[in-house]
Amino acid sequence: MPTRVKLVAMNKSTKPMSKHATWAWMLWDWAEQPYPTIFQTFIFATYITGAAFIASGDVDLLATQLGWAGAAAGLVVAVAAPVFGRRADTSGRRKMWLLINTGLLVAIMIASYFVEPKPEFFLFGLALYAIGSVVQEAGFISYYAMLKQVTNSGNMARVSGMAWALGYVGGIILLMTSLVLCYLPGHPVYPNEEDALNIRVIFLFAAAWMVVFTIPLILFVPEIAKTELSKKRESVLDSYRALFKQIGKLWKVNPDALKFLIASAIYRDGLAGIFTYGAILGTIAFGFSPTGVIIYGVAANIVAGLGALIGGLLDSRIGTKKVIVISLIGMTFAGSCVFIFSGLGSITYWVFGLTLTLFVGPAQASSRTFVARFAPLNREGEIFGLYQTTGKAASIISPLMWALSLTAATAAGFENATLFGIIGITAVLVVGLVLLLRVHPEPRVIE
């Protein structure tokens, strides 16, 4: 599943919380899983970059254009994230905005059903992919901000982790259902596969999934109470002023913390790139069939979950920064091997591609832990908000490096230019690793 972080603001209250509200909030992670799993990675992205959409050139050109679309979406998110974050905290309408973004994602998934496997529909599909990426990120900001509403200091970490686990499980169920109903021989949904209806119907199934499993959040999660701040209208310019003031303050009191935020923003975008372009790489560069992509996706979700579990156990024993460094080194090695040994065929991607996903979970979980260690008492939400904002600001890097790598390989006349995309993603991880090595392993807590 695509790369994302559950933002944990340390609420010192131990007051009892509604179990219905807590479970309903967690279930939204399960509800939104169709977008990262079905659309961003394993089915829709590979569908619109398939041979049926080629008007001229080859599939490498389609993959390159998908990268440019992702870069454009990342740029929009980077520019708008400070406003999204501030409004989620101050508007008193977190739930409303989350539901609006949920509705937009459902509409995008329904619209995707009408993307027929013809070249003239490629730009339509590309636009849906890019717009959906922006809407999803906007939804996550509101969703993360609601965590404190449904937990207390005694169960916050457990609830966040369980929600993350629900997302992985949801992804596996979605992929297995799609495999059985729409891909395997004798599948019962549109067995003649005319106009790719067996694939397109999955998008309607995904939309229905999100609607059904969002209902508990509608019913049981309360809206945030309005504050005096929510009554004041804050301009877009004011939102950016507040952001830069926050960054300047952090630089003065804890430069190592700011260095980490910058380093993690870069390598976390590399983690996102692994999942975003992983299925496309398997399909185009290594010749995976649609069925093979689904099976690989199930394996990747399982391996990523196991990696997160192992990383959590090691974190308290060897240190948080060491877990992240080891994970980034492991991913750099695995990514390089995907490129170096590509001549061996699909076995290379099964071995080293899954090795990449093994290290993604520990890097994600330990990054959040590292921030929690230097976050100031009663101001954790402020720092985690900046953590989210810096991550979104860097979200253009992996799509840009992917697109540039493919463009350069195509211009140089290399065959299988899509394979060079892994070079761009690995380079992002290396830059993040180099910057991380300059960070003190235990930044002091901000006073």
Tokens for 85?
Answer: 């974050």
**Cα–Cα distance between 373 and 369 in angstroms, integer?**
6
Contact at 8 Å (CB) between 335 and 427? Answer: no
**Is the model's pLDDT at 247 over the cut of 70?**
yes
**What are the chain's domains?**
18-224 (1.20.1250.20), 236-447 (1.20.1250.20)
Q: What is the mean pLDDT of residues 348-353?
A: 92
**Cα–Cα distance between 64 and 405 in angstroms, integer?**
9
- DSSP code per residue over 88-112: HHHSS-HHHHHHHHHHHHHHHHHHH
pLDDT for 311: 78
CA distances (Å), 228 to each of 89, 91, 193, 403, in order?
12, 10, 57, 45
pLDDT for 1: 42
- Helix ranges (H only) for 3-93 are 19-31, 34, 44-48, 59-90
pLDDT for 2: 42
pLDDT for 230: 55
pLDDT for 9: 39
Identify the weakest region by mean pLDDT among 48-52, 109-113, 266-270, 376-380.
Answer: 376-380
Identify the weakest region by mean pLDDT among 119-133, 169-183, 233-247.
Answer: 233-247
Give me the percent of the chain exceeding a pLDDT of 70: 84
Q: What is the mean pLDDT of residues 400-419?
A: 88
Helix, strand, coil percentages in the chain from 3-state DSSP, rounded to 5: 80, 0, 20
Contact at 8 Å (CB) between 59 and 284? Answer: yes
Q: Where are the beta strands (DSSP E) in 188-325?
A: none
**Is the model's pLDDT at 5 over the cut of 90?**
no
Give me the percent of the chain exceeding a pLDDT of 90: 28
Q: What is the mean pLDDT of residues 28-37?
A: 88
Q: pLDDT digits over 104-124, tens only?
A: 999 999 999 999 999 999 999
pLDDT for 327: 93
pLDDT for 320: 82
**Cα–Cα distance between 100 and 308 in angstroms, integer?**
31
pLDDT for 382: 61
